[in-house]
């Protein structure tokens, strides 16, 4: 138990199954989903510190680069994402964090499928499609960072100040700065335990939320001009113009949080963001209020996530995908 936060028995048991494959001297590749968010990066950085302190050889090997605003968390030499596939192939163990669907690992799918031991720590609502291996999965957790905290607590591995800082970023970002419905009493107790380890919340806020490049703000302005609202159903959506990221020298990470603006409109129960991704597919981000379960809605399109936040990617043009998804969204809202 860390700082008086008990670990549920089922999580403690799962933590020990994961720890059993993380023995001293082993090479471990840590990875998370494409376009990593604060929870994915924070969780893998914290685990990097935990494993290094136990005599293992960890390396972060992500399918896409770590977003600039989370780069302050990266220890020197920890991030080897530029040779991610090779790191995964050479690893004795791969730990996949914040996702259990192999399709979310981009170009690393083949390497992951060929790995001997694949552990997973995740909090999403999904059966997962990763190769078999030890699992610490709890959809009720506020963030994967909460589960990494539980892992350290259950197996008795002390958290360094650097690991605590990384986990705080994971909790902070996945709860919307402790505003979203997943902000549980337990998540706040864990945040308090992390603060007791010397985490400086103001400096983290500045790095994560107050260091935006100009292009991010101009991108947000352009995207919000596409806003459409159907107040009778409580539906709203925005669309990212196909060339907007390039014109504003922005990245996918710069879109983070934009879909919260249509969700913030009074009476809106379901908000959507549509954008074209590198594969030519259309990514749809779902956000909801009240009893609207966007994980259930996104499953219709092969996606997944949480009740209030989910995503899916579909083949087709933006116009075709919008027609398909908006029709399903309207039907869902009418039935609920």
The domain segmentation of the chain, as residue ranges, is 9-208, 214-335
Residues 6+ positions from 302 with CB-CB distance below 8 Å: 312, 313, 314
- Check residue 303 and give its pLDDT: 87
Of 89, 99, 108, nearest in space to 137 by CA: 99
Q: Write down the residue that tokens 């090997």 correspond to.
A: 61
Give 95's DSSP letter.
Answer: E
State residue 333's pLDDT score. 96
Question: Is residue 69 classed exposed, middle or buried when 0-12, 13-18 and 19+ CB atoms within 10 A define those classes?
Answer: buried
Please give the structure tokens belonging to residue 66. 């770590």
Give me the pLDDT at residue 2, please.
Answer: 61
Q: What is the residue-averaged pLDDT of the chain? A: 94
Distance of CA 2 to the CA centre of its chain: 24
Task: Give the distance, in angstroms, between the CA of residue 72 and the centroid of all CA atoms in the same chain.
Answer: 17
What is the pTM assigned to this prediction?
A: 0.89
Q: Across the strands, what pairs with 46?
A: none
Architecture of domain 214-335: Roll (3.10)
Q: 289 exposed, middle or buried (CB, 10 Å; 0-12, 13-18, 19+)?
A: middle
Mind listing the pLDDT tens digit for each residue in 105-121? 989 999 999 888 999 99
User: How many of the other CB atoms lie within 10 Å of CB of 110?
Assistant: 12
Please answer whether residues 46 and 166 qualify as being in contact, where contact means their C-beta atoms are separated by less than 8 angstroms: yes
Strand order in the sheet with 135-137: 57-60, 27-31, 93-97, 118-122, 135-137
pLDDT at 319: 96
Whole-angstrom Cα distance, residue 324 to residue 55?
Answer: 51
Other C-beta atoms closer than 10 Å to the C-beta of 30 total 30
Q: pLDDT (tens digit, 9 = 90+) per residue, 40-82?
A: 999 999 999 999 999 999 999 999 999 999 999 999 999 999 9
Query: Hey, what CATH topology would domain 9-208 get?
Result: inorganic pyrophosphatase (n-terminal core) (3.90.1640)
Task: Give the number of other Cβ atoms within 10 Å of residue 6's Cβ.
Answer: 14
pLDDT beyond 80 at 298: yes
Phi, psi values for residue 271, rounded to 5°:
-120, 145
Q: CA end-to-end span of the chain, whole Å?
A: 42
* Beta bridge mates, 59: 29
Report the SS3 class of residue 117.
coil
Whole-number Å distance between alpha carbons of 44 and 148: 9
Residues with Cβ within 8 Å of residue 21, at least 6 apart in sequence: 93, 117, 119, 133, 134
What's the pLDDT tens digit per position in 102-159? 888 989 999 999 888 999 999 987 767 888 899 999 999 999 999 999 999 999 999 9
Helix extents (H) in the chain: 9-19, 38-53, 84-90, 109-113, 144-155, 161-174, 185-195, 201-209, 214-224, 244-247, 260-263, 294-299, 318-335
For tokens 């907007």, the residue is 244
Q: What are phi and psi of 30, to 5 degrees?
A: -105, 130
Angle at 119 between CA 114 and CA 124, to 5 degrees: 110
Alpha-carbon distance of 145 to 122, in angstroms, equals: 9
pLDDT at residue 3, as a whole number: 67
Distance CA 199, CA 127 (A): 34
């Amino acid at each position: 138990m860390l700082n008086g936060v008990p670990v549920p028995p089922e999580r403690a048991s799962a933590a020990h199954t994961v720890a059993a494959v993380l023995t001293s001297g082993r090479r471990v590749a840590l990875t998370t989903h494409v376009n990593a968010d604060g929870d994915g990066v924070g969780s893998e950085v914290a685990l990097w510190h935990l494993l290094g302190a136990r005599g293992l050889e960890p390396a972060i090997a992500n399918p896409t680069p770590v977003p600039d605003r989370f780069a302050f968390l990266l220890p020197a030499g920890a991030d080897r994402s530029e040779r991610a596939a090779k790191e995964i192939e050479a690893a004795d163990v791969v730990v996949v964090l914040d996702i259990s669907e192999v399709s979310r690992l981009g170009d690393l799918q083949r390497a992951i499928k060929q790995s001997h031991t694949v552990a997973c720590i995740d909090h999403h609502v999904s059966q997962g499609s990763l190769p078999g291996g030890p699992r610490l999965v709890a959809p009720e957790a506020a963030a994967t960072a909460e589960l990494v905290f539980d892992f350290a607590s259950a197996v008795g591995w002390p958290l360094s100040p650097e690991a605590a800082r990384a986990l705080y970023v994971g909790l902070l970002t996945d709860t919307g700065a402790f505003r979203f419905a997943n902000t549980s009493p337990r998540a706040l107790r864990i945040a308090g335990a992390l603060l007791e380890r010397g985490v400086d919340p103001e400096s983290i806020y500045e790095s994560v939320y107050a260091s935006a490049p100009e292009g991010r703000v101009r991108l947000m302005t352009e995207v919000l001009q596409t806003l459409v609202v159907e107040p009778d159903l409580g539906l709203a959506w925005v669309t990212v113009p196909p060339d907007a990221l390039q014109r504003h020298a922005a990245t996918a990470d710069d879109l983070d949080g934009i879909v919260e603006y249509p969700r913030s409109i009074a009476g809106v129960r379901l908000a959507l963001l549509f954008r074209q991704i590198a594969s030519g597919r259309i990514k749809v981000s779902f956000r909801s209020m009240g009893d609207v379960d966007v994980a259930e809605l996104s499953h219709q399109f092969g996606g997944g996530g949480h009740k209030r936040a989910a995503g899916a990617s579909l083949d087709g043009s933006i116009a075709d995908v919008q027609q398909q998804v908006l029709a399903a969204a309207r039907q869902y809202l009418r039935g609920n």
